[in-house]
Amino acid sequence: MNKQYGTILIVDDNPSILTALRYCLSETFEHILTLDRPDDILKMMTQETVDLVLLDMNFTLGVNSGQEGLLWLRTIRKHHPQTPVVLLTAYADVSLAVKGLKNGAADFIVKPWDNDELVRKLKDVLDMQSEIVTLDEMETEHIRHAIDRCHGNLSKAAELLGITRQTLYNKMKRL
């Protein structure tokens, strides 16, 4: 039996696409959540543990710029930085793909997709996610360890880390 991955959230305004993806990914994911409007993404992600988001780039009829998808990508990355987002679009636009990747997308899939290729890409994203610790995570762990070692004395922790106390405060705000 194949390894099953956790929960995927698919966001696309086309009900046929949602149905096709649900069917295509049913063997790969334990749970498949779908939304036909991006407005509910953050609410859904606070109610459910989402391991991966598959996000359409365009939601307004007749608008194909991908700006909505980029906006939602940035929003998801801001609120859930550890959750990978794969972009989905009907328009094979290389510059849009590059913008998406620069904004933190884990990958990019063009409609119509090849089912095997889609599944492979999504698995690759999740497999890589579980293997790699981000620099932010390493820094956070390092800071926590230093603070613990100094019994909460931030001046000593900053000294131990080789940074100013103000820099340590600024880094702690992001934790």
User: pLDDT tens digits for 6-44?
Assistant: 999 999 999 999 999 999 999 999 999 999 999 999 999
Cα separation, 30 vs 26, in Å, equals 7
Which is nearest to 53 in space by CA: 126, 158, 110? 126
Q: What pTM did the predictor assign?
A: 0.72
Residue 152, Ramachandran bin (φ over 0: left; ψ between -120 and 50: alpha; else beta): left
**107-110 and 85-89 beta bridge pairing:** parallel
Chain centroid to CA 2: 24
The pLDDT, as a whole number, for residue 4 is 84
**More confident position, 133 or 120:** 120
How confident is residue 132, by pLDDT bands cut at 50, 70 and 90?
Answer: low
Q: What is the mean pLDDT of the chain?
A: 88
Give the helix, strand, coil percentages of the chain, each rounded to 5: 55, 15, 30
